[in-house]
Amino acid sequence: MIHEAAIGWVIRTRDPEFTDWEGFTAWLEADPGHAAAYDALMAADADLPSLLPENPVGMPEPANDPGERRSRPWRWVGGGAIAAALVAAISIGSWNRTDIYSVTTRPGETRTIALEDGTRIDLNGGTTLRLDRKNMRFAALDAGEAAFTVRHDAADPFRVTVGEAVFEDAGTVFNIVHASGATRIGVSEGKVIYNPQAEAIALPAGRALTDDASGLHLMAVAPEAVASWRQGSLVYANAAVGDIGQDIARSLGVRLTIAPGAQAMRFTGTIRLDRNPERFFATAAPLMGLSAVRQGDGWVLKEGHGPQS
* Chain centre to alpha carbon of residue 12: 29
The answer to whether the pTM exceeds 0.85 is no
CA distances from 117 to 56, 112, 149, 239, 295 (A): 41, 15, 11, 35, 46
pLDDT of 298 reads 94
Mean pLDDT (the chain) is 81
Residue range 37-58, pLDDT digits in tens: 776 666 655 544 444 444 444 3
Length of the chain: 309
pLDDT of 187 reads 97
Nearest 5 degrees, angle CA 158-CA 176-CA 4?
A: 35
SS3 label, residue 292: strand
Interstrand relation of 111-114 and 233-240 (parallel, antiparallel or unpaired): unpaired
Residue range 230-265, pLDDT digits in tens: 999 999 999 999 999 999 999 999 999 999 999 989
**Whether the predicted pLDDT of 30 surpasses 70:** yes
**Whether the predicted pLDDT of 88 surpasses 70:** no
Nearest 5 degrees, angle CA 147-CA 149-CA 151?
A: 150
Average pLDDT over residues 205-221: 93
- Is the CB of residue 233 less than 8 Å from the CB of residue 270? yes
Sign of the CA dihedral with 132 first, then 138, 142, and 148 last: positive
Candidate from 72-81, 211-220, 294-303 with smallest mean pLDDT? 72-81
pLDDT bucket at 98, cuts 50 / 70 / 90: low
Domains defined for the chain, CATH in brackets:
2-61+76-95 (no CATH), 100-223 (2.60.120.1440), 232-303 (3.55.50.30)
- Is the CB of residue 290 less than 8 Å from the CB of residue 303? yes
